[in-house]
Amino acid sequence: QDDSKIHISHEVTNYEFFYEPFYISLNSVPFYDERFLGYGFTRNTQAYELSVGDWSFQVLSPVFLIHRGLKKRKRRPRWRERQNTANGRKFKQFKYDILKKYKKFKKKSS
């Protein structure tokens, strides 16, 4: 493999919630769910829907991205934590809606 050329190094096979990849995709991916406003539960809920909808995540190499400016929790503004908390309360309904949309409900055993 020529590591000087962009290639797929591997597929992500283990989805975990709060996974927030920066990704490149076709414009047919589902949009962010607009019930989540501001900070928190935006990109990760979109990634969750992509996973439930059987989209695959493939890691490109030797491409990388640096995200500057991550703050420690105690240094975040209060308004940001309020948005995150409010969005977190909306997640249970969102998860139900996504599982219903993609018909992924687990059947209860009797």
Res. 107 pLDDT band, cuts 50 70 90: low
Per-residue pLDDT tens over the stretch 86-105 = 999 999 999 999 999 999 87
pLDDT value, residue 43:
87
User: What does the radius of gyration of the chain's CA atoms come to, in whole angstroms?
Assistant: 17
User: Rounded to an integer, what distance in angstroms lies between the CA atom of residue 98 and that of residue 101?
Assistant: 5
Distance CA 5, CA 24 (A): 17
Burial class of residue 31 (count of CB atoms within 10 Å of its CB; 0-12, 13-18, 19+) = exposed
Question: Which pLDDT tens digit goes with each residue over 53-75?
Answer: 999 999 999 988 887 777 777 88
State the pLDDT at residue 63.
Answer: 87
